[in-house]
Structure 1
């Protein structure tokens, strides 16, 4: 179902045959995730906070969760993380990814995220939970999350995940002032976010991508 690909920053990703897409940018998997989700998302919203609740739509390879776990430990903040994934990769495939080696982090921390446990304390600073299933059928706690990593496959491959209805559901799960970051800047995505109670800001993208977006919840959906 997946083929391993080495990207331009030497980090690995997968090509998903079902959806015909890579999980990360071939210009650099770690570089893209850091730029869009960690720097523009987690780092942006974590100033002055001791605890942060993160929702990831499209857990995928687990790279965003792994980077967040490292960030929590390095910055001594408490992160509670929920990753949602309808099509999980198996543990054997996860072992082919070189993120732990490049990030100089214990591979057991990364591989455990792809194991059978659905929720556990990964460290004193990072609580991890995953839900195998579709976002449409997942109950989300209202006004709970500070940050959403929206990292599904593209609107062309998974149009059902980029709708106003989905963004309204996410809006209701976010605290006022909470943010969503995503690699997609397509016009209809921005329109759906705006009509779901978000303000939109386009930001310069990582190598290979001109721009991406950060959306802020300004009103209830």
Structure 2
């Protein structure tokens, strides 16, 4: 894919990127920062922790590293809560340094500005390797498609691919099955997408599916839970 990427400003003042080839943004026009907080922090990590208060480290798998916003917010969350996180993300088309260095996330929320150095550290971390980025955040990013990725057991899945209309192969039942098979019992799957087909597929794959209020500008989002009694269909290997 030859990408033409430009920076845009969303309604909450935070940046996103616009992929001219796909004619698609990396985040919601109504607020990139607010969307990530709502979908992946509030209805993702916070919700998982409420059900699993002492199950550490938390193993997270993200489909779509993109701008790095979700990974950075998770690092901040881990450091603020003193909770160890193992974070694995995939991205076949990394954002180039001349783009990510202009993104304004570290200025957007002054309450967490002192974590600013980690945003660039996540982007500069070597691809296809794993290691600690901060005291509580161990990070691995792979430059690979979901179809070719090696996955690890996950407690929480951030499914943040482009919309189904833009990248339908990532939302196929086969792709979803590859991800859900690696979810541990009690695991959580969260995404901004609210398509009926997604919900039906996740239910058929064994998840308990919820339709939840979406972030600003979006009526609904989707979350799924892997039942605690569900055995993992594939043991996988632990992330370094």
More strand by share: 1
Q: Same fold (TM over 0.5)?
A: yes
Q: Paired residue for 2:220, among 207, 211, 217?
A: 211
- Is 2:32 aligned against 1:23? no
* Partner residue in 2 for 1:136: 147
Q: Paired residue for 1:117, among 122, 126, 148?
A: 126
Q: Paired residue for 2:97, among 75, 91, 94?
A: 91
Question: 2 CA distance for matches of 1:39 and 1:52?
Answer: 15
Question: 2 CA distance for matches of 1:137 and 1:189?
Answer: 21
Question: What SS does the aligned partner of 1:170 have?
Answer: helix
The 5 Å alignment of 1:1-221 reads: 1-47=4-50, 48-49=53-54, 50-103=56-109, 104-118=113-127, 119-141=130-152, 144-218=153-227, 219=230
Deviation of 1:73 (Å) = 0.6
Question: What SS does the aligned partner of 1:137 have?
Answer: coil
Deviation of 1:107 (Å) = 3.3
Question: What SS does the aligned partner of 2:124 have?
Answer: coil
Which stretches of structure 1, 4 residues or longer, exceed 6 Å deviation after superposition? none
CA offset digits 1:49-81 (Å, max 9, x no partner): 332000000111110000000000111100010
Question: What SS does the aligned partner of 1:114 have?
Answer: helix
Question: For the Cα contact (< 8 Å) 1:164–1:195, is it kept in 2?
Answer: no
Question: 2 CA distance for matches of 1:82 and 1:18?
Answer: 27
Structure 1: give runs of 5+ residues left out of the alignment: none
Question: For the Cα contact (< 8 Å) 1:57–1:84, is it kept in 2?
Answer: yes
TM-score scaled by structure 2? 0.87
CA offset digits 1:82-137 (Å, max 9, x no partner): 11111111122101100112231443311122225133311110011100010111
Question: 2 CA distance for matches of 1:199 and 1:75?
Answer: 27
CA offset digits 1:154-177 (Å, max 9, x no partner): 000000011111111111111011
Question: 2 CA distance for matches of 1:105 and 1:156?
Answer: 38
Structure 2: give runs of 5+ residues left out of the alignment: 234-240
Question: For the Cα contact (< 8 Å) 2:61–2:156, is it kept in 1?
Answer: yes
Deviation of 1:204 (Å) = 0.5
Question: 1 CA distance for matches of 2:223 and 2:203?
Answer: 12
Question: 2 CA distance for matches of 1:149 and 1:155?
Answer: 15
Question: What SS does the aligned partner of 2:138 have?
Answer: strand
What RMSD over aligned residues (CA atoms) do the two structures have, in Å? 1.3
Number of equivalenced pairs: 219
Question: 2 CA distance for matches of 1:105 and 1:158?
Answer: 36
